[in-house]
Amino acid sequence: MTLTRREILRLVALGAVSTALDSAGAEEQKPNLRQLGADKRLAIGSAFSTNELNPDDESLFRHELSRITPENELKMTAIRPTRETFDFARADAIADFARRGGLEMRGHALIWNNDRQPGWLATLSEAEMRSAIEEHIERTMGRYEGRIEVWDVINEPVGTVAFGDYMLRDGPFVQRLGPDYIALAFRAARAVAPAAKLVLNETHTERDDRFGRNYRRRLLYIIDRLQDTGVPLDGIGLQGHLQPDKPFDPHGFGAFLDEIARRKLFIEITELDVNDASFPDDIAARDQAVAATYRRFLRTALANPAVRSLSFWQLGDGASWYFAQSVDENPLGQRRPRPLLYDADMRPKLAFDAVADELRRMPERPRG
């Protein structure tokens, strides 16, 4: 008899676990990631969506995690369909679940300068854009005061378009305000929540090719300009959407983490998963390759004491953005992505074991 983690948790809740444990083999012996992280003072989290507001998923997330991140529900596209409208219903539902389950909730993301933002932003003047940013941050952070301690204030600012000495992602905010939109958002966030931890979240930095090294350099430039001008910045989020077909150099990535830590900023791994598109079709071989990719990345990332949290971009394959993209592109396809710690039936995979092993071997985080 093989039970999924969901089934075991349900039996625990019903007081029927003793019989199940005798017949479930080694499945129930899987470690608790939350406790493994807590033993080393590392917060363990995952993206979470309103689709997972059901007893089975809620039990699993409470069991394994210490924090959750709304995947899309706190983004401006979800909250602000029009300039006059603030719709927090879905974000509130996740906040209520976090409260019930004793989980931290991480704020993601206040300002994301990309082409998927609400269309009304493109109609604003420079002055109106400044006002819109400040209003959005004030209303959103104010609503969750005391419930969210860490916020991604700016998401993915780095890009390939030159704005003065900056290389930034194009979008409505930078088109109106240039690089100033970044400092404006951080200052507005500090004014609303003086005790909150304010984070700049970025992607691609684990890649050790020209593209990835450019992202590192451009991100450090933004950090230095913010710090030089007294902009409140507490930490850096590194997403970690790992692409195994791109080079990864532990020494180079480790040196980059050291550069961030040297600037007195904490580091969070915020959106970890593995793109398995370049791996074999065979599921066993693919799962082994995904697990090895997690292990290689975490061996370097968790060695740096400035890394204080580790969050995955969902726990189960069926909820992954890669999975949804695969279904959209090929509804009848036989191969589906397996980028996460659990499969689509929420059974832990080799990736889970690899992560647990790396949590055991990582050095303890410093206090404070």
Tell me, yes or no, whether 61 and 26 share the same domain. no
Q: Which of 93-97, 114-118, 165-169, 238-242 has the lowest mean pLDDT?
A: 114-118
Dihedral (Cα; 272, 311, 334, 281), 10-degree rounding? 50
Tell me, yes or no, whether 322 and 344 share the same domain. yes
Domain presence at residue 197? yes
Tell me, yes or no, whether 115 and 24 share the same domain. no
- Domain count across the chain: 2
Rounded to whole angstroms, the Cα distance separating 280 from 344 reads 18
Rounded to whole angstroms, the Cα distance separating 356 from 227 reads 36
43-48 vs 158-163, strand pairing mode:
unpaired
Tell me, yes or no, whether 165 and 18 share the same domain. no
Domain presence at residue 368? no
Domain presence at residue 367? no
Contact 154, 184 (CB under 8 A): no
Q: Note the pLDDT of residue 116.
A: 83
Tell me, yes or no, whether 147 and 23 share the same domain. no
Q: Which of 126-130, 159-163, 258-262, 311-315 has the lowest mean pLDDT?
A: 159-163
Tell me, yes or no, whether 25 and 38 share the same domain. no
Continuous segment of H or E residues that includes residue 249? none
Helices 210-228 and 180-192 meet at what angle, rounded to 10?
Answer: 60
Tell me, yes or no, whether 131 and 10 share the same domain. no
Tell me, yes or no, whether 24 and 152 share the same domain. no
Q: What is the band of 18 on the pLDDT scale with cuts at 50, 70, 90?
A: very low
Tell me, yes or no, whether 93 and 18 share the same domain. no
Q: Which of 53-57, 198-202, 340-344 has the lowest mean pLDDT?
A: 53-57
Look up the CATH number of the domain holding residue 42.
3.20.20.80
Mean pLDDT of 323-339: 93
Q: Has this prediction a pTM greater than 0.85?
A: yes
Tell me, yes or no, whether 73 and 10 share the same domain. no
Residue pLDDT, tens place only, 35-93: 999 999 999 999 999 998 988 888 999 999 999 999 999 999 999 999 999 999 999 99
Domain presence at residue 129? yes
User: Which amino acid belongs to residue 170?
Assistant: D
Domain presence at residue 366? no
DSSP state of 149: E
Q: What is the band of 95 on the pLDDT scale with cuts at 50, 70, 90?
A: very high
CA angle, 172 then 178 then 182, to 5°? 85
Q: What is the band of 28 on the pLDDT scale with cuts at 50, 70, 90?
A: low
Tell me, yes or no, whether 136 and 3 share the same domain. no
DSSP state of 231: -
Q: What is the band of 9 on the pLDDT scale with cuts at 50, 70, 90?
A: very low
The pair of three-digit structure tokens given for residue 214, joined into one six-digit string: 């450019």
What residue numbers bound the domain in which 307 lies? Answer: 32-361
Tell me, yes or no, whether 21 and 43 share the same domain. no
Q: Note the pLDDT of residue 30.
A: 74
